[in-house]
Every structure is written in structure tokens, then in C-alpha cells.
Chain A
Amino acid sequence: MTHPDDANRLMMLSDPRLSEWIDGRLSTTEAAEVEQIVRQSPELTRLANDLRAIKRALSQSKTHAPNASFVQGVMQAIDAAVEQSESGVQNQKIANEWQHIEEQRIAEERAEAGEDASAVEESAGREKMLPTHWNRYWQILALSGALAAGVLVSIVIDKSRSEKNLGEETALLQKKQSASPSPALPRSLAAAATAQNGTVHLSAAAAPPEGLRVRVRMQNKNGHERLEELLAASDFRIESSDNEPQQIIGTGSVEAIDALLASLAEPSESLLLEEIPLLLAAADTSATRFAPPSPLANSFPQPSLRQAKTNEIKTNEAQTNEAQTNEAQTDEAQTDKAQTDARAAAPGLASADLQVAAAQSVAQKSDNRNGDKAGSVSQSQAKRVAHAVRLCIEIIDDAPNDDLQGLQEPQGLQGVAP
């Protein structure tokens, strides 16, 4: 019958914990246990002492230092190996031998690992073996899979969140755009304007006493000719014109003014009836955007604008006063003739100057006629004054000056300076 102490002694003789105890790698509890067993056995005491001495002696062993030319020899061997690698035969042999030896070594390692595992299970209090390489790999794979899944989920969540934010921002933007600010209009324009979606629709019939003011922007050199054509086609009586700033002031009937404004509002490449926000429209000197003031404006046929406007004017005048109609026809004819004479007299004048000259000529003739017919026209004048609306056309000339084009070319001056 084996004494328990003998069992412990025999166990400890082959127990790796004895070497671990010598190396100081055991925990406090285990070290105390092993120390107690060793003290109780002289044999174990001697064994422990011998193992310590062997360890100490091995640590004090000396070796030879490598030769001074060792590094050079290594680099030469590397150079030789590189040269041999071109043929590939030598390396293949070495690789095959290496692989065979490595496989043999691994097989032996595994066999011994199996033996060690069985030995560990037989003795009590053995420590847990570390997982094998295969066990380590599946842990790495599982961790990598979890990490990839987490990244994928974060990408999906971020995408949906960004789409949600985009939708919210879009809705907010649409809400802002749909809002229609409608600042209060000043009293002077309130009666003459109706706000709709940020634009002001003027009606000459409801014009304030000081009249209407619009701004026309010349897009190109044909803008002035276009304006001249529209003014000639309308029943707009020019009273004065200025160069600084460029503006044309005149009067006309309600229908004439509305028709002229509708013509100016039509899309054109040469001139543009400028759009100004409502806030600036509160100022007396600002222009406003016009929409067709009445359904009648939309009924104008596009071709033959001059003829259509003339017919309308004739019809309106015939309904109120036959005398006014005749005088209007006379004024129109005189205007055409005056313009022709002005062109013939001074072909170099700008369109505005031509208009001024024509207007002055007409006005002079009209005054003379009015003067001769003071009594007969007083009634018609009164009627005309009653229906007259004052209109100021401010001209903004953005058309490029052809004379200045030459200065901008690198070849040199080719144009004439204005």
C-alpha cells in the first residue's frame, strides 16, 4: 500500500511543476504546495537542488563569438543563392527537402502533443492546455466575421439615416419655396397692383396719380429698335426724354398703356422688362414686373402686331369720340413722317434721339393744331386728359458696344472709341 507521501513524491518526480517552481512561474498557492511536498521528501529536495544547479551552470556557459567576416560570408552566400535561383533547380531540391523535413517534424510534434495531453489528464491539478492552432484559427475567423458584420450594419444604418435627413431637408426646402412672402404694398401702388407669387400685376386703369414707372433693359443692339417699334405701334404720346438717366416719359390712354406694357412684357431677345422684387416695388422709383393686365392682352395675335394694335385703338376711339379717333390717326401719321424725316436728316442719331426728335415734331404739330382748334379740341382734350395715364420708361442699356470690341482683341485696336 502506497503511502500518500510516497504517491506525492513519485508524482512530483516527473511533474513539470517542479521545474516551474524552480523557475518561479507558479502562483503563490501552488508554490507553497510544491514547497511543502519537496520539504517532506529528501529525494525531491536533492532533485530540486540538482535542477537548480543545472540551470545555473547552463546559464553560465560560454560560446564563441562569430568571426569578423561572418556578415560578409552571409552576404556572399546570399549573392550566390540569388544567382542559383535563376536556374531554380537547386532551390527546388532544397525546397522539397525542407518541406519533407518540416512535415516530419510537425508529425512528431503532434504525436508528442497527444502524449502530453494524455499525461496531463492522468495527473491531478494539471493546467489547461492552450488551444491548438486549429482552435486559434476559428476564433480569428469568428472575430473577423463579427467585425465585418458590424461594419456592414453601420454602413446600412448610416445610409438610411442620410436618406432620411435628405428627405427632411428637401421637404423643408420645398416648404420654404412654397411660402409666398407678401409684404404690404404701399398705398400708392396698392390700388394699382395685385400681388401674386412675388410679382405685381399693374393695370393702367388703376394707376396712381403720379403714373406708372417701368424699367426696360436692352439685351443687345436691337433693343432700341425693338422699343422704338413698340412705341410707334402704340398710342403712347412721348412728352420728354432724358439721357441721364435714359428715360422716356409720355402719356396714353388706359388701353394704350396696357397694350404697350403687354408688348414690352412679351419674351424678347433684344429687350427685357426687368423684374424687381416686391420690396423694391414699394419705392416710387422702382419698376415692377408685368403680367398681361387683362385678358384682352392675351388675345393679341402674334403676327402683325402693329396692325392689331392699330385696329384696337381705332375701335376704342370710335366708341367714345369720332373726333379723337381722327386726331389719333393724324398724330400717328405725323409721327411716322417725323421719324422718317429725322432719319433722313440725321442717320447717325441713336434710336432714342430719333424718338425724341419725332416726339418733339409731333408735339409741336399737335400744339399748333391744338392752338388752331382751341375751341373744337377743348372738349376732346378734356376727354383725352381724363383717360390719359402717365408712363415713365427707364432704359438700362446693357448691350455691348460694337465699337469697344476691337479694344478687347489681342490683335490691337480695330474699332473706334466711343
Chain B
Amino acid sequence: MGIRSKDTPSARIVSSTATDRGLVAEAVAGSRSAFTALVQRHEGQIHALLERLCGCHETARDLAQETFVSAFKNLHTFQHRSEFFTWLYRIACNHAFTARRRPNAFSSGLHDPSRATSAHAGSPAAQPCEPVAPDTDVSARLDQEELRQQLANALGQIDERFRQVVVLCDMQGASYEEIAEILEVPIGTVRSRLHRGRTSLRQILADL
């Protein structure tokens, strides 16, 4: 994967063969340009993740900036037990998760948790989904661009924990194992949340 070069004074052309491990070591040693290279390498993925989690470009930009600042402050604690991007994803997910708990939330584009479906969120026991009416064929409707936008909105309505897994799996292309490592949860929890997140999205779209 190549690196987008930026015409910024603080950026420098970094060889694409430099590994994250090497850049992290240089950054820990005090190399500002090495951390800049790390930011350039992962800004796209982090920004996309946060935008999908938050549903807003502006909010995602702010949260992405906070993510990299947190990564810089805690870079000396990174022990290479996982990949650097996994560790970065975890920071980004935590920032997105904590952004909802702040009294002064971000822009209006932030998803309202109160609008999340309560059918399966936090239920003590797994309850079978209600059967969908035969005439509400979601798959057929998703072929339309408009309904895709509705899907993106629906994503903001499901439980935060389900949304994280759905975004990481279906939108970021992460595997179950990577998701388990990022979110620091068992892989069984990943399976459960993913299925419940998808079924929740299906229910929301069916109600539209």
C-alpha cells in the first residue's frame, strides 16, 4: 500500500517499505517526521472508520485528530503485542465510544443513541427476531442509491457496540479475529454482535 504524499511543511517523503514497527521506534525516539509518516499512512482508514461510526465527516475529522494525538501521547506504551493499525483502531473506537458520553456532543450529525432499536440491544436473553412481512423485501430495495443512504442513517440508530462490529467487518473489511483484538472482546462476542447488528439494520430498514 502506497503512501499519499502531502505538500505540508511537516511531512516528508517516506519510503513505502518502511514498516509501522520501524516508524514507531523512530517516533518513540523523538522523530517528528516518523510520526508524521504514520499519520499519513493511516489517516484515510481512521477517518473512514470514524465517519462510519459517527455518521458525520466533520465529527470524524475531529475524532481522527484526537485519535492521533492520543496515539502520540501513548506511543511509548505501545508494546507491539498487536499490529500498530489494530492499536490505532482501538483508540479510534474508544474515542468514538466516549464521544457519546460527553455532555456536549459533537455536531448534529452525531447519531442519537436514544433512537437505537431496543429490540435486541442489551437484552438478557436472545429473542428471536420477528418475522419480516413478505412484501418488505429489503434486499431488493437496497439496490437503489437512496436506500443506501437510508442504510447509512440506520447504522447510526443501532446500538454502539453492534455498530462498531458491523462497521469494522462489513465496511472496513476486518476479520473476526482482528475485530476481537481491536475491541478486546471474545470472538464469540464479535459473532453475536455482528449478527445482532445486521438483523437490527434489517429491522430498521423494514420499518421504513
Contact = CB atoms under 8 A, between A and B. Distances in A.
B111 interface: no
A23 B174 CA distance: 12
A137 interface: no
Contact of A18 (B9, B125, B184, B195): B195
Interface string B132-161: 101001110010000010011001000001
A113 B40 contact: no
In this complex, the member of A13, A98, A129 whose beta carbon has the largest number of chain B beta carbons within 10 angstroms is: A13
B198 A51 contact: yes
Given A57-B142, A81-B69, A113-B185, A15 B195 contact: yes
Interface residues of B, number: 75
A105 B94 CA distance: 9
Interface string B117-137: 000001111111101101001
A63 B186 contact: no
B191 to A, nearest CB: 4
B176 A25 contact: yes
Interface string A96-111: 0110011011001100
Given A54-B202, A66-B44, A19 B126 contact: no
A120 B148 contact: no
A53 interface: yes
Given A58-B166, A109-B185, A65 B47 contact: yes
B32 A116 contact: no
B171 A59 contact: yes
Interface string B181-208: 0001111110110111011011001000
Interface in A6-52: 10-11, 13-16, 18-20, 23, 25, 43, 46-47, 49-52
Contact of B138 (A16, A54, A123): A54
Given A14-B126, A55-B170, A46 B198 contact: no
Given A66-B61, A75-B36, A77-B69, A51 B202 contact: yes
B65 interface: yes
Contacts of A71: 6, 8, 10-11, 36, 39-40, 43
A52 B131 CA distance: 17
Interface in B1-44: 6-11, 32, 35-36, 39-40, 43-44
B94 A54 contact: no
Contacts of B106: none
A66 to B, nearest CB: 4
User: What's the dominant secondary structure at chain A's contact region?
Assistant: helix
A372 interface: no
A302 interface: no
Contact of A57 (B97, B129, B151, B199): B151
Given A54-B198, A57-B142, A66-B61, A13 B129 contact: yes
Contact of B47 (A13, A70, A108, A126): A70
Contacts of A2: none
A415 to B, nearest CB: 66
Contacts of A72: 6, 8-11
A89 to B, nearest CB: 15
Contacts of A43: 131-132
B59 to A, nearest CB: 11
A61 B98 contact: no
A362 B122 CA distance: 132
A129 B6 contact: no
Nearest to A129: B188
A73 B65 contact: yes
B155 to A, nearest CB: 8
Given A78-B72, A122-B126, 9 more contacts: A13-B199, A52-B139, A59-B170, A59-B173, A66-B47, A70-B39, A113-B186, A116-B192, A129-B188
Interface of A: 10-11, 13-16, 18-20, 23, 25, 43, 46-47, 49-61, 63-75, 77-78, 81, 97-98, 101-102, 104-105, 108-109, 112-113, 115-116, 118-120, 122-123, 126-127, 129-130, 132-133
15 contacts: A13-B129, A14-B128, A46-B134, A53-B142, A57-B151, A65-B47, A69-B8, A71-B6, A71-B11, A81-B73, A101-B97, A115-B124, A119-B192, A120-B188, A123-B126
- 6 closest A-B pairs by CB: A53-B139, A58-B170, A16-B191, A19-B195, A16-B195, A63-B48
